[in-house]
Structure 1
């Protein structure tokens, strides 16, 4: 695996847009909360480090990853947000439930993003086991929350150009 020894969350702060004028929603699944809380910390700190004001970040919680699309849609329906970060974790089990939740969540978030023409950063880990999720939420592979905050800021800036 190409990422086996790499921290994927390193970024050049000078290339990220300043988010001082951005309003960002974050929706966090409470399922696998030990992991999603670390993803949230990474995302939130990255937004703050790159100029987003604390009062311009709204955090909401939902039970699981499957609820993320509706929550993101409801937030974007208010027209108060420039973008949203969707945070969740789905870990492979012994049934096809994993496949259905991953596909439904992914397609649902894409549909909402395209409907609103606003970015939704996909911070949903879809791992084979809990250790892989831990490794990607502040462990040896960095924190996907950082990467998604970076993506959200860049896509908001991109949208504002058009």
Structure 2
């Protein structure tokens, strides 16, 4: 569903599993840091709100969104990590770099989750403009970090 038709921060928590003993890895891209810090805060606060312990949430940074895949793998390889949440921002520019980055990150994150048999969540904001990115980082479309944390919790229920 297009983000324009849904608020990323709206969700139903009725069937969430107990995450008090679950450990989460956050991998956050430093590129567009003013936005990714907001995404990270949204994910972190959502995990705490639903019972995660602060000591069980680990945040690592990587230079950019392209590096999210390796950052996710480095966390996912640890048995004690139950889910990994990847957060970044890719904004379309004058070149096709966004196509290459987004495709690589989507495939890489999928492969890491399959390799380690645990949720590895795609929390990448992919927009045409900076304004659209802000709209998805706590703006009129909610916070993609919240959505990513909710997805991690939901996937732990399988």
TM-score, structure 1 normalization: 0.92
Aligned match of 1:97: 97
Q: What value does the CA root-mean-square deviation take over the aligned residues?
A: 1.5
Q: Secondary structure at the match of 1:138?
A: strand
Large movers: runs of 4+ above 4 Å = none
Aligned match of 2:108: 108
Aligned match of 2:53: 53
Aligned match of 1:16: 16
1:87 and 2:87 are equivalent in the alignment: yes
Unpaired stretches in structure 1, ≥5 consecutive residues: none
Aligned match of 1:138: 138
Answer yes or no: is the 8 Å Cα contact 2:3–2:141 preserved in 1. yes
How far off its partner does 1:2 sit?
Answer: 5.9
How far apart in 1 are the matches of 2:5 and 2:74? 39
How far apart in 2 are the matches of 1:116 and 1:104? 18
How far apart in 2 are the matches of 1:77 and 1:5? 36
Answer yes or no: is the 8 Å Cα contact 1:73–1:112 preserved in 2. yes
How far apart in 2 are the matches of 1:132 and 1:85? 21
Aligned match of 1:123: 123
Answer yes or no: is the 8 Å Cα contact 2:122–2:148 preserved in 1. yes
How far off its partner does 1:18 sit?
Answer: 2.4
TM-score, structure 2 normalization: 0.95
Q: Secondary structure at the match of 2:27?
A: strand
How far apart in 2 are the matches of 1:116 and 1:128? 32
Unpaired stretches in structure 2, ≥5 consecutive residues: none
How far apart in 1 are the matches of 2:111 and 2:85? 15
Answer yes or no: is the 8 Å Cα contact 1:17–1:50 preserved in 2. no
Aligned pairs, number: 158
